[in-house]
Amino acid sequence: MKFLFLLGLQILFYFSSQAQNLSEQEKIQFTIQQFFRGMKNGDSTLIKESINQNCFLKTVVIDKQTNSTIVREEEIEDFIIVISAKREGIIYDEQILNYEIKIDDPMAIVWAPYRFYVNERFVHCGVNAFSIARFHSEWKIIGILDTRRKESCD
């Protein structure tokens, strides 16, 4: 009888911890979606609400001429200016294909393959790797690392 009681407690704790993780995963996913809604709508406020002030943006590409890896960095403020200043009728639409989220207390990493479109025209695909941290009860993006390519996008 004592064994069944302990087994029941373990099952209860397991499922309650899974529900808590799911809730945190949903919050993290919401933060990323808010970032991309801001990008799509040209809304710098949404972007700023989803990121930490020290957020970094880096792109990793292969130089086709030298076949070497290059890491390009963009200042977050420059990115926000470009998004805010885009012409009327231009839509940047980054479509996340799925989210793989790993959480360790106040930190999370998100692997998110994507396809990027401008006004419904395919531009490139790749993977975003988000570094995310929880500040009080809010998840904020602290860094975005991405790849970009035009081939092998299936």
pLDDT band at 20 (very low <50, low <70, confident <90, very high): low
90-98: which pairs have CB atoms within 8 A and are 24 or more residues apart? 90/118, 90/119, 91/40, 91/117, 91/118, 91/119, 91/120, 92/39, 92/40, 92/116, 92/117, 92/118, 93/40, 93/117, 93/118, 93/120, 94/36, 94/39, 94/40, 96/32, 96/33, 96/36, 96/128
Arithmetic mean of pLDDT over the chain: 89
- Mean pLDDT value of segment 44-62: 96
Q: Is the pLDDT of residue 12 over 50?
A: no
pLDDT at 154: 74
Stronger pLDDT, 64 or 93, i.e. the higher one: 93
Give 92-142 pLDDT, tens digit per residue: 999 999 999 999 999 999 999 999 999 999 999 999 999 999 999 999 999
pLDDT at 142: 98
Q: Spell out the domains of the chain, with CATH numbers in brackets.
A: 2-147 (3.10.450.50)
